Homo-oligomer: A and B are copies of this chain.
Amino acid sequence: MTDQLDAAGRLRHLLTLDGLPAPMLQRLIERARTFVPPAAAAAPRGRELEGRTVANLFMEPSTRTRVSFELAARRLGADVVNIEGSAASTVKGETLLDTVYTLQAMRTDLFVIRTAESGAPAEVARRVADDVAVVSGGESHLSHPTQGLLDTLTILQRKPDLDRLVVCIVGDIAHSRVARSAAQALRTLGVRELRLVSPPELKPAPHEFPGATWDSGLDRMLVDADVIMALRIQKERMSATEIPGASAYREQYGINRTRLARARPDAIVMHPGPMNRGIEIESDVADGPQSVIWTQVANGVAVRMAVLLTLAGRSQAR
């Protein structure tokens, strides 16, 4: 875990949910709730970040996460600069750190960094100036903290008593930063039971998910589940024959209506997107009454507004 708190115990960067105290998670989630608009209402807005500059440094492509951060920042009044993949430093072989120093010298106040390189966000966080904050927008297979927060918020909206819930995450657990961040938040906040389901080849190391149970048999694990989170399967992994092919995966691990019926009748179904419809989830489930998939997306903007505000608030006085 990286030291992402300052001397006063306030959030200084957001790199991982691992080790964040429960009250801090709760405060972030409560703050996010204030940015969730009622059904047909306009998007909430503010001017708290007017004059601030947010740089989205996305080494891995991700339209949805980039747009979510971009809208969160702009709806709070910030200027947003997008730097993506090959358009970034990589073109001329500049290091990520030099790109960060350059943008910092241009008075960037907050960096959102998405990268396949483990440790890069923490390295950046160690190097930036005192009044500059770093948010992970997804780091390798390790961490995706705003996703973990939005998943937790989505669960709590529908099922506030976490200590009575059974949450079942299904898919490529071994490589999933989504699973890791959700598990960390849910565990800290006291979820009753966390079940992990994956093909044997994609079983995670137990120490990465303390307290969770793992099994390769989905049908058993769905019984009595309150929350089912299907993960996106990487087709590249399937072609590499590391895991079963698409149709075998669908057969054994796809969430369909028959399987869903094994869970509790009021169970909710989640997916971080983008979905491979017909592989890890069937369309009638994704679009059905138990799906909260679009609510997750909506909550994503709210969570990111809350995170940006919290981090920017620290240096507000300057």
Contact = CB atoms under 8 A, between A and B. Distances in A.
A7 interface: no
Contact of A275 (B37, B81, B94, B107): B94
Interface in A8-65: 37, 40-43, 45, 51-53, 61, 63-64
A61 B84 CA distance: 12
Nearest to A75: B79
Contact of A107 (B43, B83, B88, B92): B43
B63 A87 contact: yes
A123 interface: no
A276 interface: yes
B298 A107 contact: yes
B298 A106 contact: yes
Interface residues of A, number: 55
A43 B37 contact: no
Interface stretch (A97-105, A158-166, A191-199, A200-208): A97-105
A1 interface: no
Contacts of A87: 61, 63, 84
B235 A93 contact: yes
Interface in A58-95: 61, 63-64, 67-68, 70-71, 74-75, 79, 81, 83-84, 87-89, 91-95
B235 A61 contact: no
Interface in A267-318: 273-277, 294-295, 297-298, 300-301, 318
A269 to B, nearest CB: 15
B51 A63 contact: no
B74 A105 contact: no
A1 B274 CA distance: 31
A130 interface: yes
Contact of A98 (B43, B273, B295): B273
A101 to B, nearest CB: 6
25 contacts: A37-B107, A41-B318, A61-B91, A63-B83, A63-B87, A63-B91, A64-B102, A68-B106, A71-B79, A71-B106, A71-B107, A75-B79, A89-B274, A92-B274, A93-B235, A93-B274, A93-B276, A94-B273, A94-B274, A98-B277, A99-B274, A101-B294, A102-B273, A106-B297, A107-B301
A131 interface: yes
A294 to B, nearest CB: 4
Interface in A99-143: 99, 101-107, 129-131
A242 to B, nearest CB: 18
B67 A81 contact: yes
B235 A105 contact: no
Given A63-B89, A64-B99, A98-B274, 14 more contacts: A41-B318, A43-B51, A45-B51, A61-B87, A61-B91, A67-B83, A71-B106, A75-B79, A93-B276, A94-B274, A94-B275, A98-B277, A105-B297, A106-B300
